[in-house]
C-alpha cells in the first residue's frame, strides 16, 4: 500500500507540473494570437515529438522530455538592418556574428508573403510585454489558486490549547529525540498531573485562547509558580506547579538558543480555514523567500554539486523536478497521513513550484521570459526618450545581439539541471 501511495504521489505531482507548464505556454500563446502574432507551434516538453496535431497554422503536441515547453512565435528576432528578411549577410566574420546571422535566418523559416505585420518584433512594446509576461503571470495565478484551495478550502493545522502529550522529563532542544534517563528532571506538567486531552483555559489568571499566547506566558514565567486552569471532560480543574527553566530554540531567531520557562506539554492541532488576507500574507512571505533562494542559487548549487559526489545534501537545498517528485511521493506515502494531509502536501508543493517558476522566469536574461520583457521595456524607454527630444525613431530593439548571452545562460541552466537531477538520483533530499 505504501509503494502504491508513493507512486500515486509522484504521478499526481508530475501531472500537476505538466499542467502548470502547459498553462504557462498558453499564457504566451493566447495574447500572441489575440495581437495577431503568427504562432506555428505549441508544445509541452522537449526532445522527440510523441504526439502532435495541427489546428490551422499552429501545431499542438507533446515532446518526450516533460521538463518544459515552448511556443513558437514567428519573428522574435528582427532582420539585420542591412539585409532583407530571411537572408544572411555574406560578410559575416566571427563565431558570434555567424551565430546571430544563422539565428535570424532560421527565424524566418515560417514567414510567408503577407506575414510582415504578424511578426513578433514589429508589435508595439506593450503588446510584447503582455505576451512575454503572460506565462509567468499564469504561474502566479496558479499559485494563488492552489494556495487559496489549500488555506481557504482545506485549512491549516493550527496548534490549540488542548494538550496532545505530556513530556515525562525535561530535555533541552539540543538533545531532542533521546529517551528519558533517571537523571533527567520530571517536567512541571507531569508533576502537576496534566493529561492528554486537557484544555488549558488560563495561565496565572490570564485567559488563553491560542497556543502562541500560552507559549509566551510559559516562557516568561521562568521558575515561578504557575496556576493553571484546565477543562477535563467538561470539568474545570485548577493545577499548581512551578515551571522550570530549559534551553530552548529562540522563537525570533531559530539559530539562537535561550533559557526560558518550560512546562512540558505539546498541543493538538486542528485544521482552521483561513481568509484571503492570510493567502496574501503567505504569498508575500513565499515571494520574499523565493527571491532569496534565486539570489543565492549559485552558491547553493556548489553545495548540491558536492552532495552529488559524496557530500552531505542540504535538507532545504534546491531540487529538480525529479527530486520534488520524490518528495511528493514520500509526503503522500508517509505513515499515519490522512487523505486531507496528502492533498494539502501536493497542493502546497505545486503552489510553491509555480511561484518559483514565475519569479525565476522574470530574471531579465535571455532565454528566460524576463530577457524579452527587459527588451520590450528598453524599447519603450528608448523610443519615448527619442520622441521627447525630437530625435528620429531608433526602431525596434535587436534582441539578437544578446544571443551569445542567451546561449551561455541556456547552457548554464542545462548544466544546473543535469547536476540537480543527478544529485536527486544518487543523494536525494530526504524528509525527516
As annotated, the active-site residues are 25
Interacting residues of 129 by C-beta distance below 8 A, sequence separation 6+: 373, 376, 377, 380
Q: Which single residue is written with the C-alpha cell 503571470?
A: 137
Q: How far apart are CA 193 and CA 419, in angstroms?
A: 54
Interacting residues of 335 by C-beta distance below 8 A, sequence separation 6+: 2
Write out the H or E segment, with its range, that includes residue 182. none
Task: Dig out the grid coordinates for 163 from the structure.
Answer: 494538550
Q: How far apart are CA 102 and CA 107, in angstroms?
A: 9
Give the burial class of 422: count Cβ atoms within 10 A of its Cβ; 0-12 exposed, 13-18 middle, 19 or more buried: middle
* 307 within 8 A of 424, measured Cβ to Cβ: no
Q: Point out which residues pair with 270 in neighbouring strands.
A: 158
Distances (CA, A) of 394 to 85, 132, 221, 391: 19, 22, 71, 8
Q: How far apart are CA 87 and CA 102, in angstroms?
A: 9
The angle subtended at Cα 11 by Cα 7 and Cα 15, nearest 5°, is 175
Long-range Cβ pairs for the range 251-260 (8 Å, 24+): 251/215, 251/219, 257/173, 257/174, 260/218, 260/219, 260/220, 260/222
Q: How far apart are CA 215 and CA 125, in angstroms?
A: 55
For 90, phi then psi, to 5°, come to -75, -15
Interacting residues of 18 by C-beta distance below 8 A, sequence separation 6+: 44, 66
Report the candidate in 309, 338, 344, 341 with the shortest Cα–Cα distance to residue 422: 309
What does the chain come to in residues? 432
Q: How far apart are CA 320 and CA 65, in angstroms?
A: 14
Q: How far apart are CA 180 and CA 46, in angstroms?
A: 55
Cα 145 from chain centroid (whole Å): 14
Amino acid at each position: 500500500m505504501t509503494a502504491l501511495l508513493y507512486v500515486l504521489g509522484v504521478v499526481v505531482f508530475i501531472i500537476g507540473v505538466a499542467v502548470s507548464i502547459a498553462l504557462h505556454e498558453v499564457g504566451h500563446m493566447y495574447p500572441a494570437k489575440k495581437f495577431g502574432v503568427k504562432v506555428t507551434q505549441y508544445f509541452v516538453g522537449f526532445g522527440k515529438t510523441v504526439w502532435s496535431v495541427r489546428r490551422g497554422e499552429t501545431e499542438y503536441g507533446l515532446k518526450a522530455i516533460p521538463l518544459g515547453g515552448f511556443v513558437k512565435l514567428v519573428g522574435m528576432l528582427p532582420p539585420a538592418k542591412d539585409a532583407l528578411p530571411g537572408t544572411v549577410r555574406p560578410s559575416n566574420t566571427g563565431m558570434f556574428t555567424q551565430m546571430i546571422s544563422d539565428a535570424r535566418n532560421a527565424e524566418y523559416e515560417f514567414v510567408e508573403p503577407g506575414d510582415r505585420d504578424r511578426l513578433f518584433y514589429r508589435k508595439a512594446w506593450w503588446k510584447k510585454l503582455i505576451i512575454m509576461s503572460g506565462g509567468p503571470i499564469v504561474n502566479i495565478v496558479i499559485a494563488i489558486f492552489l494556495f487559496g484551495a489549500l488555506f481557504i478550502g482545506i485549512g491549516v493545522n493550527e496548534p490549540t490549547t488542548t494538550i496532545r502529550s505530556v513530556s515525562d522529563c525535561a530535555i533541552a532542544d539540543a538533545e531532542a529525540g533521546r529517551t528519558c534517563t533517571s537523571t533527567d528532571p520530571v517536567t512541571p506538567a507531569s508533576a502537576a498531573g496534566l493529561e492528554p486531552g486537557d484544555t488549558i483555559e488560563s495561565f496565572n489568571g490570564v485567559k488563553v485562547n491560542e497556543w502562541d499566547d500560552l507559549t509566551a506566558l510559559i516562557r516568561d514565567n521562568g521558575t515561578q509558580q504557575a496556576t493553571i486552569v484546565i477543562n477535563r471532560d467538561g470539568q474545570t480543574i485548577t493545577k499548581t506547579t512551578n515551571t522550570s527553566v530549559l534551553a530552548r530554540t529562540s522563537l525570533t531567531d531559530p539559530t539562537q538558543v535561550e533559557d526560558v520557562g518550560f512546562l512540558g506539554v505539546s498541543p493538538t492541532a486542528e485544521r482552521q480555514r483561513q481568509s484571503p488576507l492570510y493567502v496574501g500574507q503567505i504569498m508575500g512571505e513565499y515571494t520574499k523567500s523565493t527571491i532569496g533562494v534565486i539570489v543565492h542559487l549559485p552558491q547553493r548549487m556548489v553545495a548540491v554539486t558536492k552532495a552529488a559526489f559524496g557530500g552531505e545534501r542540504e535538507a532545504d537545498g534546491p531540487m529538480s523536478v525529479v527530486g520534488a517528485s520524490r518528495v511528493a511521493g514520500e509526503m503522500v506515502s508517509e505513515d499515519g497521513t490522512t487523505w486531507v494531509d496528502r492533498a494539502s502536501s501536493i497542493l502546497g508543493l505545486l503552489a510553491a513550484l509555480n511561484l518559483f517558476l514565475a519569479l525565476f522566469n522574470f530574471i531579465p536574461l535571455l532565454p528566460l521570459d524576463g530577457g524579452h520583457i527587459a527588451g520590450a521595456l528598453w524599447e519603450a524607454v528608448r523610443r519615448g526618450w527619442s520622441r521627447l527630444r525630437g530625435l528620429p525613431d531608433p526602431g525596434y530593439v535587436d534582441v539578437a545581439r544578446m544571443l551569445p548571452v542567451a546561449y551561455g545562460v541556456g547552457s548554464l541552466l542545462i548544466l544546473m539541471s543535469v547536476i540537480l537531477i543527478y544529485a536527486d538520483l544518487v543523494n536525494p533530499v530526504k524528509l525527516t
